[in-house]
C-alpha cells in the first residue's frame, strides 16, 4: 500500500512531520505521567508509594520518545504520510463520527445512529432516500430488539425516546 502512495506522488503531509509530531506527543504524555506520579509521591515510604511504578514508566516513555524523535528527524523528507485526497476521505468519516459520539450523551444512541447512517449513505454512498431510510431505521431497530428485549441490556436514550414512551 505504502509503495502505491509513493508512486502516486500526490501532495500531502510528510511522514517525517507526522513521526516527529507523534514522538513529541508521547514525550509530552511521558512528562504528564511523571508529573502526576510525582504529585502523589513516587518514592519509598515503608513501601513503594502510589506513584512509584508510573514514575518509572513515565521516564521510560520520555527516554524512548527521544530515541523516536531522533530517528524521526532522520526520516526521508520526501515520503508522504497520506495524500490530501486520502485525508479528505478519512475526515469524511471522522467528522460525522465525532459529531455522532458528541450527540450520544444528549440524545441517546438511537437517534444519532439513524442520522449517522442516513448521512453516510446519502452523502458518501449516493444512495436513494428509500434504501437509506430503510437501513438507517432497520439497524437501530434490530439492536433495540436484540439488546434491550432479548439480552435486557439498556442502551442510552434521549428526549425522543422519552416522547415515544420507550
Partner 1 sequence: MILDNFTHLYHGFGIAADPFNILLMAIGILLGVIIGVLPGLGGANGVAILLPLTFSMSPTSAIILLSCIYWGALFGGAITSVLFNIPGEPWSVATTFDGHPMARSGRAGEALTAAFTSSFVGAFFAIVMITLIAPLVAQFALQFGPAEKFAVYFLAFASFVGMSKEPPAKTVVSMMLGFALACVGLDMVTGQLRLTFGFTELLNGFDFLIAVIGLFGIGEILLTMEEGLEFRGKSARIDPKVVWKTWKTLPRFWATSLRSCVIGCWMGITPAGATPASFMSYGIAKRMSKNGNNFGNGEIEGVIAPETAAHAAGTSALLPMLALGVPGSPTAAVLLGGLLIWGLQPGPMLFVEQADFVWGLIASMYLGNVVGLILVLTTVPLFAAILRIPFSIIAPVILVICAIGAYTVNNNVFDVLMMMVFGVLGYLLKKTNYPLAPLVLAIVLGPSAEESFRQSLLTSAGSVSIFWSNPLVSTIMGLGLLAGVWPLISKGIAKLRSSAQPA
* Nearer of residues 22 and 163 to partner 1, judged by Cβ: 22
Residue with cell 449516493: 126
* Nearer of residues 59 and 163 to partner 1, judged by Cβ: 59
Cα–Cα distance measured from residue 26 to residue 61, given in angstroms and rounded to the nearest whole number: 7
Nearest approach, Cβ of 6 to partner 1 (angstroms)? 14
Nearest approach, Cβ of 17 to partner 1 (angstroms)? 11
CA-nearest of 101, 134, 127, 105 to 116 is 101
* Nearer of residues 80 and 164 to partner 1, judged by Cβ: 80
Question: Residue 78 carries which DSSP code?
Answer: S
* Nearer of residues 119 and 163 to partner 1, judged by Cβ: 119
Residue 90: all three cell numbers together: 478519512
Cα–Cα distance measured from residue 155 to residue 49, given in angstroms and rounded to the nearest whole number: 39
Q: How far, CA to CA in Å, does 27 sit from each of 68, 102, 111, 161?
A: 10, 28, 40, 45
Nearest approach, Cβ of 18 to partner 1 (angstroms)? 6
Nearest approach, Cβ of 165 to partner 1 (angstroms)? 21
Amino acid at each position: 500500500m505504502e509503495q502505491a502512495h509513493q508512486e502516486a506522488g500526490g501532495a500531502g503531509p510528510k511522514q517525517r512531520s507526522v513521526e516527529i509530531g507523534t514522538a513529541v506527543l508521547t514525550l509530552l504524555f511521558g512528562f504528564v505521567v511523571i508529573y502526576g506520579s510525582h504529585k502523589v509521591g513516587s518514592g519509598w515510604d515503608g513501601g513503594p508509594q502510589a506513584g512509584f511504578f508510573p514514575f518509572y514508566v513515565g521516564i521510560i516513555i520520555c527516554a524512548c520518545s527521544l530515541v523516536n524523535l531522533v530517528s524521526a528527524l532522520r526520516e526521508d523528507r520526501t515520503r508522504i504520510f497520506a495524500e490530501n485526497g486520502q485525508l479528505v476521505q478519512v475526515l469524511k468519516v471522522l467528522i460525522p463520527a465525532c459529531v455522532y459520539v458528541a450527540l450520544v450523551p444528549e440524545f441517546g444512541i438511537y437517534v444519532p445512529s439513524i442520522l449517522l447512517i442516513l448521512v453516510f449513505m446519502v452523502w458518501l454512498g449516493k444512495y436513494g432516500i428509500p434504501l437509506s431510510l430503510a437501513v438507517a431505521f432497520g439497524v437501530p431497530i434490530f439492536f433495540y430488539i436484540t439488546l434491550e428485549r432479548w439480552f435486557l441490556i439498556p442502551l442510552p436514550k434521549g428526549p425522543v425516546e422519552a416522547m415515544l414512551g420507550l
